[in-house]
Amino acid sequence: MPSADSWGSSPASPIGFEGYEKRLEITFSDAPVFEDPCGRGLRALSREQIDSFLDLARCTIVSQLSDKHFDSYVLSESSLFVYPHKVVLKTCGTTKLLLSIPRILELAAELSLPVLSVKYSRGTFIFPGAQPAPHRSFSEEVSVLNGFFGGLKSGGNAYVIGDTFKPNKKWHVYYATEEPEQPMVTLEMCMTGLDVKKAAVFFKNSADGRCSSAKEMTKLSGISEIIPEMEICDFEFDPCGYSMNGVFGPAASTIHVTPEEGFSYASYEAMNFDPSSLVYSDVIKRVLAGFSPSDFSVAVTIFGGHGFAKSWAKGADVDSYMCDDLVEQELPGGGLLMYQSFTAIAPGAVSPRSTLEMDGWSSDGMETSVNSDDMCICWDAGKKVVKKDVDA
């Protein structure tokens, strides 16, 4: 396994900031009762211990909000959520997210928490050439992930989902598990080409000299109305940019905004909520109202089956947007990933039939498109294996 120091320093993009996040979710099984009688699990970690793995990823804590179920942290580059048996780390820019893994696993082992599953996901970077190792390609990321998690019962499973003719709309997922997970629904939404006027809300200083706070940005953008029950911890960056975490019982949400024209981006995520209490299409529409992007994608990961997921197990139909892609991908352990991408259209236009295409890699490990049947690209820890997956 590579050490954190072996990858070198991260280059800065001369063009703009990378909004697309890398997201890592590691779930752990229970510790023996005599080891953790109060069931605090990962929440027993000190601030110093948390900083120790964030430092490896190249990000810091700027704000915090907790309830009785979990702790949420707004970071200098996105967010961290710590549940008793789950850690979700989401970082943007040129952070080195995967370098945090060995320290996270070390801390979990000290708490007698064995790994149950891991999920890594991201979109297609706007500035891929600016990414440092180990994030220079998905194949490189998969190699690192397999080094830590390829020994889980399912083995490492990697997927690149999207239309071959739209290379900037690929969704990358790695998943490995020891056993089926508890029922849960997670929404990941990525938006590009934000409406200029709506993006202007997220500049700290306006053209007329007015200074905006994070709370004003939250209200003016309508973010506070997406799931009104959420208690929000928000943060504004100077000169522009915005992040927030939302907390409601065990449910969490998070938004991150890069508003600069030319590479504007916003993301929305919600997880661990009761899917029967929210209507999928309504949440999507409330998010879009705050940003009016030219393009967006949604990835819904479901554990617990269609019956548990309710409306979240169906594709969204959004006015004024054409669905470019609609994909359902089964995951090991009974999971399901639903991915859709959309492009803004003039009123009255008709969507073409959705298609599923998958990516492959060239012999040198670079990401490259292939024309083939639907494919599930899976890795063992030591080699790459391509398998047909006609039911994907």
Does the pLDDT value for residue 351 go beyond 80?
Answer: no
For residue 134, which of 253, 3, 250 has the smallest C-alpha distance?
3
| 25 annotated ligand-binding residue | no
Does 77 carry a binding-site annotation?
yes
Does residue 85 carry a catalytic annotation? Answer: no
Whether 193 has a pLDDT exceeding 60, the answer reads: yes
Least confident of 75-79, 86-90, 105-109: 75-79
Tell me which of 107-111, 225-229, 349-353 is least confident: 349-353
Residue 266 lies in a domain: yes
- Domain assignment present for residue 44? The answer is yes
The letter for the amino acid at 66 is S
Instruction: Check residue 32 and give its pLDDT.
Output: 84
Is residue 359's pLDDT more than 90? no
Average pLDDT rounded to a whole number, residues 38-52: 95
Confidence of residue 277 (pLDDT cuts 50, 70, 90): very high
Q: Give pLDDT, residue 6.
A: 35
Catalytic residue among 143, 154, 221, 243: 243
Length of the chain, please?
392
Tell the residue number behind the tokens 């601030």, with chain if given: 47
Name the H helices within the chain.
Answer: 47-57, 101-110, 138-149, 196-199, 214-220, 280-289, 305-309
Is the predicted pLDDT of residue 33 greater than 80, yes or no? no
Which tokens sit at 246? 């939302």
| Cα dist from 115 to 27, 85, 315, whole Å | 6, 9, 32
Amino acid at 87: V
Q: Which residue has the higher pLDDT, 11 or 293?
A: 293
pLDDT higher than threshold 60 for residue 300: yes
Q: Say if residues 258 and 125 touch (Cβ distance below 8 Å).
A: no
Number of domains in the chain: 1
Residue 387 counted as domain residue: no
74 pLDDT above the threshold of 80:
yes
Place of tokens 């959705």: 354
Residue 136 lies in a domain: yes
6 given a catalytic annotation: no
- What burial letters (b/e) apply to 62-85, b meaning 16+ CB within 10 Å? ebebeeeebbbbbbbbbbbbbbbb
- By residue range, what is the domain housing residue 289? 22-344
Average pLDDT over residues 238-261: 94
- pLDDT surpasses 60 at 103: yes
Express as a percent the part of the chain with pLDDT over 70: 83
DSSP labels for 178-196? Answer: SSPPPSEEEEEEEEES--H
Residue 352 inside a domain? The answer is no
In a domain, residue 5? The reply is no
Q: What is the CATH number of the domain that holds 295?
A: 3.60.90.10
243 annotated active-site: yes
The one catalytic residue among 256, 267, 297, 376: 256
Q: Is the pLDDT of residue 76 over 60?
A: yes
Give the pLDDT score at 129.
Answer: 84
CA 289, 291, 295, 298 torsion: positive or negative?
Answer: negative
Q: Judge whether 45 lies within some domain.
A: yes
Q: Note if the pTM is more than 0.95.
A: no
Q: CA-CA distance, 176 to 183, in Å (whole number)? A: 16
355 domain-assigned: no
**What is the model's pLDDT at position 131?**
87
Residue 285 near residue 313 (C-beta atoms within 8 A): no
Q: Answer yes or no: is 70 a known binding residue.
A: no
Residue 125 in this model has a pLDDT that exceeds 70: yes
Per-residue confidence at 29, pLDDT binned at 50, 70, 90? very high
Is the pLDDT at 203 greater than 60? The verdict is yes
Question: Distance between CA atoms of 251 and 36, rounded to whole angstroms?
Answer: 24
Q: What is the pLDDT of residues 55-68, one digit of tens each?
A: 999 999 999 999 99
| 121 flagged as catalytic | no
| Gap between the Cα atoms of 246 and 348, Å rounded | 36
pLDDT for 15: 58
237 is in an annotated binding site: yes
| pLDDT at 162 (0 to 100) | 85
For residues 5 and 347, which has the higher predicted lDDT (pLDDT)? Answer: 347
Which residue out of 13, 59, 72, 78 is catalytically annotated?
A: 78
pLDDT for 388: 31
If you average pLDDT over every residue of the chain, what do you get?
Answer: 84
Amino acid at site 320: S
pLDDT of residue 73: 97
Phi and psi angles of residue 93, each rounded to the nearest 5 degrees, phi first:
65, -145
pLDDT score for 350:
53
pLDDT at 313: 84
